[in-house]
Amino acid sequence: MEFKTVKESKIILSELMLPSHSNFSGKIHGGYILSLMDQIAFASASKYSGFYCVTASVDTVDFLNPIEIGELVTLKASVNYVGRSSMIVGIRVDSENIQTGKIKHCNSSYFTMVAKDNEGNSATVPGLILSNYEEVRRFYNCIKHISLKKHKNHHEEVFDYKSDEALKGLEKYNIKLEIK
């Protein structure tokens, strides 16, 4: 079996934020940043696997700080976990005020990417060589995340949201039930 290092998946993308990237409040549109994140996830996973890769899921994206017009946005991505045909790519987004040099962490996310062969079938990806404790930490975080996701999916399958107990539990929220 072939193995590759995390370093072989690393990609850095920097782009100056223009007025055309802004939303109605004058900040950079979150959708535009998500598009850049998807591009770098594709590049990282494809570079690592040697195959065309598709996005299978995007896990929590928390927008921590707004990005201003004129700031330089830098995205850093690397493969943090590999399965048989899937990879979890960790992405960090920072913005820099190029006049002051101040850098802000804007968001981080995990994209699950799947390698595809020329016929569109899932392709086997190389194993991952972990070269330092930070890479081990990231790999373990992915294992934990996968486990939590499986637990959540199982909970949603067996939870009876129509039961009297479940409906009564909603009373503490800012809702009004009008189910007929």
Quick one: pLDDT at residue 155?
64
Domain residue limits, the chain: 3-130
Domain spanning 3-130, CATH architecture: Roll (3.10)
Whether the predicted pLDDT of 177 surpasses 90: no
The lowest-confidence range among 3-12, 106-115, 164-173 is 164-173
| Among the listed residues 7, 67, 3, the one whose alpha carbon sits nearest the alpha carbon of residue 37 | 67
Return the minimum-mean-pLDDT range out of 46-55, 88-97, 112-121, 158-167: 158-167
Tell whether the model's pLDDT for residue 160 goes beyond 90: no
CA atoms within 13 A on the CB side of 99: 4
- Could you tell me if 53 and 107 are in contact, meaning their C-beta atoms sit under 8 angstroms apart? no
Structure tokens at 49: 């696997």
Residue with tokens 């790519």: 89
Task: Round to whole Å and give the CA distance between 70 and 123.
Answer: 40
Q: How confident is the model at residue 148 (pLDDT cuts 50, 70, 90)?
A: confident
Tell me the pTM. Answer: 0.87
Mean pLDDT is lowest, of 13-17, 34-38, 122-126, 173-177, for 173-177
DSSP type of residue 175: -
Where is average pLDDT lowest: 11-25, 67-81, 122-136, 143-157?
Answer: 143-157
Q: DSSP secondary structure string, 20-76? A: GGB-TTSBBPHHHHHHHHHHHHHHHHHHHHSSEEEEEEE------S--BTTPEEEEE
Residue 179 has φ and ψ, to the nearest 5°, of: -85, 130
pLDDT beyond 70 at 154: no
- pLDDT mean across residues, the chain: 94
- Residue 1 confidence (pLDDT) above 90: no
In degrees and rounded to multiples of 5, residue 128 shows phi and psi of -110, 130
The arrangement of strands across the sheet holding 86-96 comes to 11-16, 72-82, 86-96, 103-116, 52-58
150 vs 107 pLDDT, higher one: 107
